[in-house]
Amino acid sequence: MNSLQGKRILVTRPRAQAIELCDRLRALGAEPILFPLIEIAPMEDYSALDRAISVISQYRWIIFTSVNGVSAFWNRLDRLGFTDFTHLPCKVAAIGPATAHSLSKRGIRAEFIPEEYIAERIVDGVGDVKGDWILLPRAELAREALADELGQRGAVVHEIAAYRTLPVAPDPDGLAELQRGVDIITFTSSSTVRNFVALVGTETQEALIACIGPITAQTARDLGLRVDVVAERYTVEGLVDALVGAVGAKHSLNFANASPLPDTMDE
């Protein structure tokens, strides 16, 4: 029997982005329980992003750190009337394979994807950037590590908010299922952790806490949650693999000792 068979697993991703994780869990015999804690929302003011797009040929690199950033950027291109933007006049980097795939669907090939899907590894791969303009279309509240590191290497970094990550009211059905009891609670970003604690508190009974990466895990620990599982690969697939391994090992959870490196998602 699969180690996740019959396990009730709370999924806290935004509703529109939870499908892949829910499908993977369901295929392994688990019962995913949707309990979205954040939503992706448009910006109220796009003037900064619009200005950047108007001078896009002056950038050496555009670096996308999430699928949400890609979607928001292309939505803005559409609103500005660009009908063919399959060849950006600059180099493009993606934080990981999901972001690169989102670009490829729009006809763009990411010229660089780090082997480790974290922001700091992008800096290692883009080379000498001294004096270069670099555009980072990101969440309104995003970690500043990438922009800071690029700036220290002499780049002119335009870190521009392309979307917002907002807390949502608790889903009544999901909350009822959570109160009934779950076996595992999954977190895919620090914002999901913060909103969970704000809504529910830190009492998770005997549920395992599983995080997509070590920054998310550190946020959970800082807020008083016990972290049991941290994915070694900071992707949805990596999270599921970590769960299978951890539960299959009868809760011998060595994944929680991962070093504090950043996650892949801006959520």
Tell me: do 21 and 136 sit in the same domain. no
| Residues facing residue 112 across a β-bridge | 93
User: Closest Cα to residue 6, out of 31, 43, 25?
Assistant: 31
The whole domain housing 78 covers 41-165
Domain boundary among 165, 189, 214: 165
User: Closest Cα to residue 230, out of 188, 183, 192?
Assistant: 188
Tell me: do 183 and 149 sit in the same domain. no
Tell me the pLDDT of the chain (267 aa) as tens digits. 578 999 999 999 988 889 889 999 999 999 999 999 988 899 999 999 999 999 999 999 999 988 899 999 999 998 888 766 667 788 999 988 888 999 999 989 999 888 766 666 788 888 889 999 999 999 887 777 888 889 999 999 999 999 998 888 888 999 999 999 999 999 998 889 999 999 989 988 889 999 988 888 999 999 999 999 998 887 888 899 999 998 877 544 343 443 333 344 555
Q: Are 79 and 53 in contact (CB under 8 A)?
A: no
pLDDT for res 134: 96
How far apart (Å, rounded) are the C-alpha atoms in residues 80 and 103?
19
Give the CATH number for residue 232.
3.40.50.10090
pTM of the model: 0.79
Structural domain count, the chain: 2
Domain-located, residue 264:
no
How far apart (Å, rounded) are the C-alpha atoms in residues 32 and 37?
15
Domain-located, residue 265:
no
Q: How many CB atoms lie within 10 A of CB 31?
A: 16
Tell me: do 135 and 70 sit in the same domain. yes
Domain boundary among 116, 143, 165: 165
Domain-located, residue 121:
yes
pLDDT for res 118: 63
User: Closest Cα to residue 165, out of 135, 195, 144?
Assistant: 195
User: Closest Cα to residue 14, out of 78, 66, 63, 83?
Assistant: 66
Q: How many CB atoms lie within 10 A of CB 91?
A: 17
Paired tokens of 189:
């970003």
Domain boundary among 165, 194, 215: 165
pLDDT for res 28: 93
pLDDT for res 260: 37
pLDDT for res 251: 43
Q: How many residues does the chain have?
A: 267
